[in-house]
Structure 1
Amino acid sequence: MSMKSLRFILVIMLLSVQGFSLQSVDTATAKALLKQNGYQGDESQLKDMAKNYRDKKQSGIGNEKDTTLQKNDSAMQEKKEIPKGLPPEENSMYENILQNKIIDPDTILKKLPVFGLDVFKNMKPLSFTPENNLAAPADYTIGSGDEINILVWGRMNEEYRLKVDREGRINIPHQGPVAVAGLPFTVMQKTILDRMQSIEGVQASVTMGELRNISVFIVGEVKSPGMFTLSSLSNVTNALFAAGGPNKRGSLRNIQLKRNGSIIATIDFYDFLLSGKDNAGIRLKSGDVIVVPIVKKMAAIAGNVRRSALYEIKQGDMLKDLVSLAGGVSPAAWTNRIQIERFQNNQFQRVLDVEADKNQAIPEKEILDGDIVKIFPIVIKDDNAVYLSGNVYRPGKYEFKQGMKVTDLLPEFKSLLPETYFEYAVVLRQNPPSFLNNLIPFNLEKAINEKNSSDNIPLQTMDVVMIYSRDYFEPDRTVFIGGAVNTPGKQKILENMKIRDLIIQAGGLLEEASEERGELYRRVYENETVSTQKTGFNVSLALQDDPKNNIVLKKYDAVFIRNKKGWEQEKHVTLAGEITYSGEYILLKGETLNALIERAGGFTKDAYLPAATLTRPTVRLLESKRNEDYVNRLQSDALTVSTELVAKQQQAGDVQNLLMQQQQLMNRMRNGETAGRVVIDMTNEASYGDFLLENGDSLYIPKKAGTVSVIGEVYNPATFRIESGISSVKYYLELAGGAKANADIKNIYIIKANGSVLTHKSADIMEYTLCPADAIVVPQKVEYKNNFKIFMDSMTAVVQISSLLLSFVTVLIVLKSY
């Protein structure tokens, strides 16, 4: 392949990368790009090469993977990227001032942005170009490819859409060609109107149709350099946005527009960013080249300015110019000293402190490339203020005035909150040179009452006046009330508070409160001895404000209101099941179970008394406590057993199995619900006749069940109907499939319907006659196999047998020798 052909293919590849179809690039554009790449051939050779390239593409020869040339340019320009979620916006300068945030320049230097680049952050190349359907400005220059619309009416009614050809002319029907290229829009419009309206009886209007596209080159430090097809209305600003904007190395203040090899404009994009003035408004032409050079001079300014950033500077820019680019200093900036970090002769970095003049103006100091300017915050604030805090209505800072005293902040007692402590208040003062806090105590009451007294302390700047509440010195100023009141407990004691006030504060008396018996307990101090004194009072008279009974209270007093004689809370008992009048009953004093059953009408004829169930809440709580104690003992025993087994070098698996069994047992006991059942024989009136009931007791009398249950280690745990004449345990065990191999036959027990338990120690279990609602429980056999012990016992037996055989053989040998 020849060098010329290779260069041509490189140009075509460049065009395809920029998203152009081959047909959209005119010969002049392609030729200009070829010449930049060293191609010196004539136009006919260029056309022949382009034709050959098109023929190869149509016949499928060449790079078939290059489908970029088939993309539609307008579709690419219309496609826009949806910006992703933006980071949270930083506080503004004024928000930082309101929040009293100190802006340290050194903390923000590492994340300092380059000013101006964020404008292009969310723009995609080729997504910011003028629309071609906008009205053409009056000075728009007509060129080849523009569309001109002519509307004719009157003697003729015609509409023409005419394209300006390569020779710069349009061919108007019945009028012939008219040269329009190079004419401003208004001149072109007048020329055509004059031509059309020269026909008698004809009116016409001339407008622009679709505008031509132009091809420009954007090179240098931009995000997407190359050649771009833009609208003919585009200027340098449009082109920069089309290329994605300058990168971080690119200059924003020295952008060059080249036309025919000459620089026709240098654009400072800061004018657009800072004031909105688009000085880059020169309209582009095909073949224009926009160059974004590398930035040559930059300086950083950080801290208490309105916009900390990296700024591009020009030769001769002064410190005030840089501060102006940053929007000026903030109100919180300390301009007495501005620090500049500067690189000196590419050898070292120096620190320069620039001091402001008497007028606090920005000093005259030239800014050099690489300078870092720091504007520090004001750290001394409120130096003309005094502070008021504590038990006052309006705490805060106040302007200091010469001759100010404490009473200027607190002119009267109304300035204080209730419960103020008057005997002691302080002024915190920082005295130079150490500026340590010094306490100046004073009597607040005297200061307000006697404004000329020494307690009315003269104030200085930065003083803090602290007023205390009584709770600070007497934190537990309370009295206690208990007994028959609605809200027993501690109450805050108030001045001149009496027993009646305390009873009312506690919500008043309960129904059971005695009207006569109340008790007051008071601490009595005698030197170092403390004792408690009891004083009785009549509650009714105290509520009537009788001075002998409505006693004034002191701190730590305790008042008790006793119950009326014989007062008891109502006790409720529930009778359920086969009771004539079942339901909830209020228990009378000293009433027994038998008496309550009689009051409820006795049992029904279907009552099955052997299965009666009596539950009691106090028993339930006691059972829960005992279960918890037993589980705790099991845990302790398990730890002891495991320690002993490990000490005896037992196998780890055996120890683990034992601990697992114990843990399962403890979990079942801990998670099991306690019934609180009291075992009582309801078949014998003598056993429950004098049984006293408690609040919350519940008696349930079921109907005759006619069944027995078999549970535990059997093959078919179930409930079975009692067979007539057959009621032995053995029979029902066989119905349940018999005991499993791991069943503990010797320890089978029976739970009777009334909750009592029958074991083999008190009866022959297998031949015992079951009653309805009884349950047979077959427990699991618990075995602990110590494999290590079995092995050691076996080895001991082997050794003993071996010793015996050896002795026998020895005897035989001895006998044989004789």
Structure 2
Amino acid sequence: MTVKKLLITLALLLPLASYGQSISPAQIEQFKQLPRAQQESLARQYGVDLDSLTGSSNQTQRPQRQDVVEPVSRAADEERERAEAEKQREDEEAEKNDGLRPYGYDLFAGNPTTFAPVTEIPVPSDYTLGPGDVLRIQLWGKENQNLELPISRDGSISFPQSGPMSVAGLSFDEARQQIKKRVSEQYIGVEASVSLGELRSMRVFVLGEARNPGSYSVSSLSTITNALYVSGGIKQTGSLRNVQHKRDGKLLGTLDLYDLLMAGDSSEDSRLQPGDVVFIPPVGQRAGIDGEVYRPALYELQGTNTLADLIRMAGGLTPQAYPQRINIERTNEDFLRIIAEADYTSPKGQSARIQAGDRVQIPSISDVTGQYVEVKGAATRTGKFAWMPGMRVTSLIDNLNSDLLPVADKQYAAIVRTNPSDDSISVLNLRLRKAVRNPGGEHDLQLEERDRLFFFSDAGKVDILDKEEGETTERMNGEKAEIEEKEAGPETFTREILFAPVIQRLKAQASPDKPQQTIQITGPVRYPGEYPMPATRNLTDAIFVAGGLKDSASLYQAEVARYTVDENGTGQTRILNVDLADAMAGKANLKLESRDRILIKSIPDFAKTRTVELKGEVRYPGQYTFRDGETLREVLERAGGLTDNAFPKGAVFSREKLRQLEAQRLREAEERLQGDLLGVQLEGDNFSGQSADRTQEVKSLLEEVQGSEPVGRLVIDLASVINDPDYQSIRLQDGDTLTVPTIPQSVTVFGEVQFPTSHLHQVGLTVDDYLERSGGPTRQADESRVYVVKADGSVLLPEKSRWFGGRSQQLEPGDTVIMPIDVDRLNQLELWTNVSQIVYQIALGAAAVGNL
């Protein structure tokens, strides 16, 4: 039949198939004779399932792998919820057992996806063939052919041109030999290769405490563990040591999964047959083991178990285990929890019987308790080191550069010694540099067992290192610095931090007959604070422990505040004056006692320099250091006086304290002005519809305030300061500044004028003349409140000053005319008060700048 004829047949027959009719076998056979590509094209064109038409024609292809178990996260919603609920129950049970979980149950954890058989299992040579298996036979030689022969229900295969051949019940190896023999007898010059194709599937049951009990379709090669895997494993309520294999109601054998998990023994993992049952009974008795074992867990017991058996199941003891005192917690006959002990180093302890519900705790060995010395702090190698008799400090530290960190204090170290008789501690001071320079000398102290050596950081070195690291980090644009500190940085090696537990221990061990062995030292020492009492009780050693004296320390006198108890049992404090110079020279006989407080006094006003800066038209300007009580006139004489171009009336003398006060007032005024601005904005158009104009005016004024800088000017008459002996002397303060301008030629007009600027001074011109030259007032100006800031900083109001002669009075060079804003236009009395203060501050600053 041609392709066209076949297409017509398919077109007629396929629609009828939907009404219960079928295509004849002859037509299907004709369809199968077509090339594979043409079959697929026709099937796509008419919507036909190609596999349903071709039947087993695709059997030669490798069967696609089907996942039999999927993770819990891929399960259906209800399965996921059930798994989460079960996991929660398991977590609760583990919490009841102090975190111990049953051993081995996570091996098969999962959820089955389908009942599809497992086909990707290697076929052993002793595999027994049965109906459903497929044999693949490749013939080559005189005749080449690939055959796939399924085993029929009667157990035979249909060999081409040879008739049926019974293979059911034979092993795969036996069937292969028989087929090769028949081919060699009936086909001359032909050889055969026999392999197994698709395997038969069978249905088995996994019941009992399985995670998903039920009936499963598995491969004919499946064993008990395969079935467990398909069913998702065993619940924690099921037994791992008594998995039963049943057939026709009879027990064929049991599988102890502990043998598989712990020893890899799968000899009892028997092969399943159709209809077999894998039954998981409830879990048996359990005992827990925790501590220094490799697998802490709850283990299922079987028969009679000893302590050695339980430890062996837990993987054995770790090197840190202490086997001589193993605790066994168990329930006695009265249902009370008791603790028993076992020595695992003895045969009796190893054979100690383990009962259901026991909990075994394997303790750890103690830390190193003897024959050691310990190094702490700013050392290159810290930790515990072996102690030997005769050992000295230089046995551990013989090079200050290589054995200590760069930030270490190389002058002082401390040895904390423990008395073995009562475990009390004492502190020995170590002059480290002297000890290293003279090994074996008096400063190279002998170490005793359990001594602790403390090496401290030097604060100055820490600061330098931090700065260098910061610069390095900046140069590397945020990359990691080359030098990395240890996890405990230099700041943790200070005397305060390292000595803190030592001080606490000294206080705790104090008693009436052994007073607290601590002292405190304050004042100009490098590291003031509380320290252990030096063993020598000398003041010199106490100062050495605190890092030594600073250069500001006074050697004339120091004080020691001593707490004593008088004959009546009343506590009191005595003050002892000490000649510090004699004490440092070793001439003082004072011995320190418990809780002494040492005060090192500072030299009064040590290295305190006060300066005044002279600028401008001074003969020798610069920054001058002045003595206590020295005046401005005296410093000006030291500076050579003023130059010929100096304008003393315009001198600006500023003081830092006044500048700070002025800045504070400006901030307060700014805050008040911001509040006034908010009030103006909230009023809206209540005042003649000019709210927008008023708001803009206040905003402009606020911007001027925010842009103004405080000057801190003190109004002085510099000419009188220099020439008039009766003029009040100006005592200088640190940070004062005197700026003397050159002789000015201008008068400045600021404020609400059309063109604020400076004008060349002309004799005979008045305030009104200069205002007119600046274009006159603006519409926001308040002409009634015009005022003048003189060159020396004083302020005069022309309208109110009789001496000034009103606004017709002539001005002098360096004067500044201020035309203020008309705040009455804003119709706010409180705002006028605020603004007037602000404008005055701005005017003073502007005048000071303008006069320079």
Instruction: Compute the TM-score of the two structures, normalised by the length of structure 1.
Output: 0.50
Instruction: Compute the TM-score of the two structures, normalised by the length of structure 2.
Output: 0.48
